[in-house]
């Protein structure tokens, strides 16, 4: 369906803020985090499957929390280009070794088995995320520096909403 992405992204992040407030034991080993939002003020309407999109952002956010030290800042951005919307999620966590970056979206791939086993999970989250984003004609990729953090990017095809075109005319 046609969705206001600013609203949907805010809604997903609000749930992570609430989890922190309402459930100190939130299943993330009491990990604390704070979320910073840097969104375009322009309303971006995109044609997406809402439930699947929520699943993708949930996984990337859960990863950002899981693979970061306590108290990390997670920065979430939303911006647009002529033809795409771009969402990004940056953490201050463990980062991903250079040699592993190419495999991060493979099924069952996990950086450093020992480190990952302690955290729980199956290694499917990002493979599913990639499938969903590509199904929408978009792309997903990551920039990461070990021991500094990671930024996951999602781009989706974007057509300016008709009303915006009228506004500018
Ligand atoms: P699942 O999501 O299925 O519960 P998972 O989180 O291990 O398990 P993915 O989300 O696919 O699986 O991530 C694959 C691997 O990529 C992770 O095991 C982890 O090693 C690495 N990874 C993912 N996100 C980050 C991140 N933000 N920082 C550091 N490493 C990450
Ligand atoms: Mg995951």
Instruction: Note the pLDDT of residue 27.
Output: 56
ipTM: 0.98
What digits encode the pLDDT tens for the residues 31-47?
899 999 999 999 999 99
**Could you tell me if 122 and 145 are in contact, meaning their C-beta atoms sit under 8 angstroms apart?**
no
* Full-model pTM: 0.92
- What pLDDT was estimated at residue 158? 94
Ligand 1 pocket at CB < 6 A: 59, 63-64, 67, 91, 93-96, 104, 109-111, 116, 121-127, 150
Which residues, other chains included, contact 165 with Cβ-Cβ below 8 Å and sequence gap of 6+? none
Find the ligand nearest to 124 CA: 1
The pLDDT tens digits for 36-81 are 999 999 999 999 999 999 999 999 999 999 999 999 999 999 999 9
In the reported structure, the alpha carbon of residue 46 is separated from the centroid of ligand 2 by a whole-number distance in angstroms of 25
Asked if 94 and 107 touch (Cβ cutoff 8 Å), the reply is no
CA of 32 to the centre of ligand 1 (A): 18
pLDDT of the residue at 119: 75
Question: How far does CA 166 lie from the centroid of its chain?
Answer: 32
Q: What is the pLDDT of residues 132-141, one digit of tens each?
A: 999 999 999 9
Beta carbons of 137 and 156 less than 8 angstroms apart: yes
**62 CA: nearest ligand 1 atom:** 6
Shortest-distance atom of ligand 1 to CA 121:
4
Ligand 1: which of 67, 76, 118, 152 to mutate, most ligand atoms within 8 Å of CB? 67
The predicted-structure confidence for 105-164, as pLDDT tens digits, reads as follows 999 899 986 666 677 788 899 999 999 999 999 999 999 999 999 999 999 999 876 655
């Amino acid at each position: 369906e046609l969705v206001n992405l600013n609203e949907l992204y805010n809604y997903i992040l609000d749930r992570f803020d609430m989890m922190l407030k309402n459930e100190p034991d939130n299943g993330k080993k009491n990990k604390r985090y704070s979320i910073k939002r840097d969104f375009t003020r322009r309303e971006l309407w995109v044609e997406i499957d809402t439930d699947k999109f929520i699943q993708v952002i949930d996984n990337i956010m859960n990863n950002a929390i899981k693979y970061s030290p306590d108290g990390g800042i997670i920065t979430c951005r939303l911006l647009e280009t002529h033809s795409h919307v771009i969402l990004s999620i940056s953490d201050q966590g463990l980062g991903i070794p250079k040699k592993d970056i190419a495999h991060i979206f493979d099924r069952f791939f996990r950086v450093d088995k020992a480190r990952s086993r302690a955290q729980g999970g199956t290694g499917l989250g990002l493979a599913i995320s990639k499938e969903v984003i590509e199904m929408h004609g978009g792309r997903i990729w990551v920039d990461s520096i070990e021991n500094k953090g990671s930024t996951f990017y999602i781009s989706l095809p974007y057509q300016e909403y008709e009303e915006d075109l009228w506004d500018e005319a």
